Structure 1
Amino acid sequence: MKNRISRVVTRSGDQGTTGLADGSRVSKDNLRIDAIGQVDELNSVIGLLVSEGLSDKMRQELQAVQNELFNIGGELAVVKTSLMTEDKVLVLEKLVEEYNDELPPLRDFILPGGTKTAALCHLARSVCRRAERAIVALGKQENISPVLYQYLNRLSDLFFVYARVANQLANQSDIFWKK
């Protein structure tokens, strides 16, 4: 494989612009760049989560998600490119159902927390929701595949369920909201 990044310091962004994959330059506060940045931040939070006490199965699932988030970033960086497919959304739906079936039903809202791993799952969930909102905002100005919205929506559901699973595996109960 040829080198993709030969120089890290390029100075090309020193004036507040950045390059898209097609070579065009846009302002760093452009909605497309914001969405790419939100997805990148989510991927970083997942990297932190993967370094915490997850099962090998969950770790592998999240590493697959990290690769898909790179595809989303690529789709956002190359206008009119489609990399995310509906089958990836279905994979997440299946995981949510699989894990949720092993959990006790919820009768009230839960607060983020319990174990450190569960808290990190909730952090990933909220960062995922923010990335989703950034892509929705971009979609109001440009043509964005609805599959991106669906994928991030299911992914945030998966993080919610992962948080509950993490607490259950540590024999820690969920923290319920007290009205």
Structure 2
Amino acid sequence: EEQSGQHPALNDVIEVLAPCQHRLFDLGGELAMPVYKALNAAEVDRLEAAIDRWNEEVGPLENFILPGGSALIAQAHMCRSLARSAERRCQHLNAIEPLEGVGLAYINRLSDLLFVAARVIAKRRG
């Protein structure tokens, strides 16, 4: 780790996760205004590609993962938990008022991405 607080080994993780905050605002806009469409399938594909790359790096899950190890890993797990909760709420809304577009798929892939990101961070940081 450099003194600047940057994590060179995590640059690709940062590059994948940074746009996600903007996409969550897009999703919020879609939920608030059903005619507004900002998310597209390419964003879901982008998350799936990162999930596949990182899963290949960390290998198959062999036991239950406890959400800890460092503050950064715990934050990734916390974000995953919040994304999963948001996904359940979107599914509930979808049952009442069907959602169009890729929002449900995006939030599902995001929670999976955050889980794999926590594993990648743990592996790369020892």
Flag the 1:143–1:52 CA change in 2: closer, same or farther, 3 A.
Answer: farther
Residue of structure 2 aligned with 1:92, choices 47, 68, 86:
47
Moved over 4 A (4+): 51-54
TM-score using structure 1 length: 0.62
RMSD: 1.9
Name the larger-Rg structure.
Answer: 1
Count residues in correspondence.
121
Q: 1:60 — aligned with what?
A: 15
In the alignment, residue 84 of structure 1 is paired with which amino acid? Answer: L
User: Which protein is richer in helix relative to its size?
Assistant: 2
5+ residue gaps, structure 2, are: none
Q: 1:170 — aligned with what?
A: 125
Is the contact between residue 115 and residue 166 of structure 1 (CA under 8 Å) also seen in structure 2?
no
Q: Which has the higher contact order (CA 8 A, sep 6+)?
A: 2
Q: Kindly provide the CA deviation profile for residues 69-91 of structure 1, in whole angstroms up to 9, marking residues without a partner as x.
A: 11101111212222211111111
Partners of 1:118 and 1:168 lie apart in 2 by 10
Partners of 1:124 and 1:80 lie apart in 2 by 28
Q: 2:85 — aligned with what?
A: 130
User: Which protein is richer in strand relative to its size?
Assistant: 1
Partner of 1:140: helix, strand, or coil?
A: helix
Q: Kindly provide the CA deviation profile for residues 77-117 of structure 1, in whole angstroms up to 9, marking residues without a partner as x.
A: 21222221111111100000011111132222211111211
Q: 1:142 — aligned with what?
A: 97
Partners of 1:55 and 1:107 lie apart in 2 by 23
1:2-151 counterparts in 2 under 5 A? 55-145=10-100, 147-151=102-106
5+ residue gaps, structure 1, are: 1-50, 172-179
Partners of 2:102 and 2:92 lie apart in 1 by 15
Report sequence identity in percent.
Answer: 37
Partners of 2:59 and 2:11 lie apart in 1 by 22
